[in-house]
Amino acid sequence: MATPRPLRDADLSQVEGVFTDVDGTLTTEHRLRSTTVRALERLADAGFKLVLVTGRPAGWAESWARTLPVDGVIAENGGLFFLRGARGRLRKVYAESPRVRESHRERLVAEVTAVLRQVPGARLSVDSAYTEVDLAVDYNEEARLGEAGADRLEALLRARGVTAVRSSVHINCWLGRFDKRSAVRRFLQVAWGVKLAPGEPRYVYAGDSFNDAPMFGEFALSVGVANVRRVLDRIDTPPAFITRAEEGRGFEELARALLAHRGIRRGVGP
């Protein structure tokens, strides 16, 4: 497996837009630092398009789309996205039709509930109440199940036909043929009429965990914040580049590098 190269080796000169994971990439120790929000603001002010790509619920995504300086939010691992349109109005786009979502939701709840009974201490994440498409099992936020517990949950869920992909805090579970990659492709087409081509130099993706692997494979300019090293030996596709700093500070490092290409060298992070 290829080893990610230092971020300084990346040619960021043509980048127009940034797609980024949230947990463990924008957040630091589960919190969003003011300096990381400032990095988003500085990128937006410099004309970069910004899109969050997360396993977090639709309820969170709507709030982020309204309150953060972003052009859109892809939520629930690609189950839906919010796109900021004219006059700040939000457009909501689902990966599946209402009938399919209803059918999948009913079965998903049943399958996940059955698996939770088999693993002591396993439970839905607190924010699963705000989901529309997927569910999340907490293994590393409020719960502490460890790697062995998370591995067992993933195996049990997959044995029942459920897609189960780990982030830094949750095991996201869904039924349906979508993921972060398919959602980003659709977002680009719907929002900007763009098809992501091999070697595309205009967009960069930043992430840190297992559910970012499809995105690391999709983007020639894929960047892992340094904490991705913890999963490099088990991730399907590693990022092309890696930052020196972890979590939100790693994203701030990426922001500084992007801004430097536009002659802006101050105002992001330490």
Dist. CA 165–CA 93, nearest whole Å: 22
Angle at 254 between CA 251 and CA 255, to 5 degrees: 90
**In the chain, where does the domain assigned CATH 3.90.1070.10 lie?**
98-174
In this structure, are residues 64 and 44 in contact, taking their beta carbons and an 8 Å threshold? no
In this structure, are residues 207 and 228 in contact, taking their beta carbons and an 8 Å threshold? yes
- Tell me 98's DSSP state: H
What does the pLDDT profile of the chain (270 residues) look like in tens digits?
679 999 999 999 999 999 999 999 999 999 999 999 999 999 999 999 999 999 999 999 999 999 999 999 999 999 999 999 877 789 999 999 999 999 999 999 999 999 999 999 999 999 999 999 999 999 999 989 988 999 999 999 999 999 999 998 999 999 999 999 999 999 999 999 999 999 999 999 999 999 999 999 999 999 999 999 999 999 989 999 999 999 999 999 999 999 998 877 656 666
In this structure, are residues 136 and 128 in contact, taking their beta carbons and an 8 Å threshold? yes
Tokens of 155: 């195996």
Record: fold of 5-95+178-260: Rossmann fold (3.40.50)
Dist. CA 236–CA 231, nearest whole Å: 10
The confidence score (pLDDT) of residue 85 equals 80
pTM, full prediction: 0.93
Residues 6+ apart with CB under 8 A from 178: 77, 78, 79, 95, 96
Dist. CA 223–CA 258, nearest whole Å: 12
Amino acid at 262: R
Nearest Cα neighbor of 28 from 267, 253, 203 is: 253
The confidence score (pLDDT) of residue 250 equals 98
Q: Please report the sign of the dihedral spanned by the C-alpha atoms of residue 234, residue 235, residue 239, residue 243.
A: negative
**In the chain, where does the domain assigned CATH 3.40.50.1000 lie?**
5-95+178-260
Residues facing 43 on adjacent strands: none
Q: How far apart are the first and last CA of the chain?
A: 33
The confidence score (pLDDT) of residue 199 equals 93
If 0-12 CB within 10 Å is exposed, 13-18 middle and 19+ buried, where does residue 127 land? Answer: middle
The confidence score (pLDDT) of residue 166 equals 93
Dist. CA 125–CA 257, nearest whole Å: 35
The confidence score (pLDDT) of residue 86 equals 76
3-state secondary structure of 9: helix
Task: Please tell me the CATH code under which domain 98-174 is placed.
Answer: 3.90.1070.10
